[in-house]
Amino acid sequence: MITVYTGDGKGKTTSALGEALFSLATDKKILMIQFLKGSTYSGELTGLYRLGIPLIQFGVGCRWAGMIRCGLKHCTNCGECFQINRDPEVALKLVQEALNYIAEVLQKKEYDVIILDEISYPLNYGFLDLQILLGLIKDSYPHWILTGRRMPEEIFEFADSWWELKACKHPYLQGVPSRRGIEY
């Protein structure tokens, strides 16, 4: 099974985590892999750790992450972490490491649900060939959850469930900065 959460709205990762919670309630083992994100201060890091769900990040993080995590600094949306993770010299290596890790995980058949968070970014930026991803996920044993903006339409035919999230109204659109514990 393949579920996709995409769109320009908030809630793609949150939806994937909601699905993971249902799976956890039935004793399924869940793994979350984040593409081109690393050592961040996001709430899912702490929350998933508390639930015993591994979250493996393949990316470069914010240099202020430690201070932001402790509440000493606020994210200014400078985008530096995104720029570094979009650099082909950095991203290609990180994506390959993630693929190698996924291949190892699949051989062990340890997880029932695998979330590939932000997988659309390496696909859209040319850091991951769609056919390589499809070769890994289609017809394989775990339930796959794929998230990210602008998910390639070619995945649609293989997806069992496809969700487009869009913001109709959000405080950010009215100048309210992202809130710790809500947006991150």
Burial of residue 114 (CB within 10 Å: 0-12, 13-18, 19+) is buried
What pLDDT, on the 0 to 100 scale, is given for residue 81? Answer: 75
Neighbours of 81 (CB within 10 A): 21
List, run by run, the mean pLDDT of 10-residue segments along the chain (184 residues): 94 94 95 86 78 92 78 78 84 96 95 97 97 91 96 96 91 80 70
What pLDDT, on the 0 to 100 scale, is given for residue 14? Answer: 92
What pLDDT, on the 0 to 100 scale, is given for residue 73? Answer: 81
What pLDDT, on the 0 to 100 scale, is given for residue 174? Answer: 85
> Is the whole model's pTM more than 0.85, yes or no?
yes
Integer Cα distance of 136 and 138 in angstroms: 6
Spell out the domains of the chain, with CATH numbers in brackets. Answer: 2-168 (3.40.50.300)
The answer to whether the beta carbons of residues 97 and 58 sit under 8 Å apart is: yes
